[in-house]
Amino acid sequence: MNGLKYPLLELLTIKKNRYEQSLRVLEEKKEVLKKEKEKLKKREEERDKVFSHKQEKLNQQKKELDEGTTSDKIQQMNYYLDVVEENLQTEEKKVQAQKENVAKAERQVELAKQDLFQKQKEVEKLEIHKKEWEKEVKIWSERKEGQEHDELGSASYTLKKRKEKST
C-alpha cells in the first residue's frame, strides 16, 4: 500500500498484549479456583470423617446404655462425645471458611472473564478499524494511480499532438 503504515499499529499491539495478559490471568484464576475446590473437598471429607466417628460413638454409647453400664463409663463417653462435637464444629467452620474461599475465587474468575471479554472487544474493534483503513487506503491509492495514468495519458497525448503539429 505504497509504504503507508497503519497509524494505530502500536495501539493494536498494546491491546493484543493486554488481551494475552488477561488470558493468562484468567487461566491463573481458574487454577486457583480448582485448587480451592480441591481444598474444600478435602475439608468436607475430614468433616464427614469426624461426623461418622461421632455417629459411631453415639451408637456405641446407645449400645452400652441398652446393655447397662456404670455411670463412670457413661460420663467418660459423654465427655468424649463433647470433645468429638467440638472437633466436628471446628471442622464445620473450616468447611465454611473454605466455601468462602471458593466463592471468592469464583468471583475472581468471573471478573477475569469480564476483563478478558472487554479486552477482546477492544482488539476486535481495532482489527475492524484496521481493515476499514486498509480498504480506504487501497481506494485512495487506486484513485491516485488513476489520476497519474490520466495525467500521463494526457501528457503523452499532448506531446503527440505537438509532434504532429511540428511535423
CATH number at residue 47: 1.10.287.1700
DSSP label at 122?
A: H
Q: Tell me, yes or no, whether 109 lies in a domain.
A: yes
The answer, yes or no, to whether residue 71 has pLDDT greater than 50, is yes
Tell me whether residue 2 is in a domain. no
CA distances for 21 relative to 67, 116, 130, angstroms? 69, 9, 22
129 lies in some domain: yes
Residue found by looking up cell 471478573 in the block: 111
In angstroms, how far is CA 160 from the centroid of its own chain?
Answer: 70
How far from chain centre, in Å, is Cα 5? 33
Full domain range(s) for residue 91: 9-166
- The answer to whether residues 68 and 6 touch, using CB atoms and an 8 Å cutoff, is no
- State mean pLDDT over 91-117: 96
Percentage of the chain lying above the pLDDT 70 cut: 98
Residue at 1 is within a domain: no
Among 3, 15, 91, residue whose Cα is nearest residue 46: 91
- Please state the pTM of the whole predicted model: 0.71
What is the domain count for the chain?
1
Query: Domain for residue 94, yes or no?
Result: yes
| pLDDT band at 10; cut points 50, 70, 90 | very high
The answer to the question of residue 3 being in a domain is: no
- pLDDT value for 2: 56
- Closest C-alpha among 91, 4, 102 to residue 47: 91
User: Residue 145: pLDDT above 80?
Assistant: yes
CA dihedral 91, 94, 100, 101 (to 10 degrees): -130
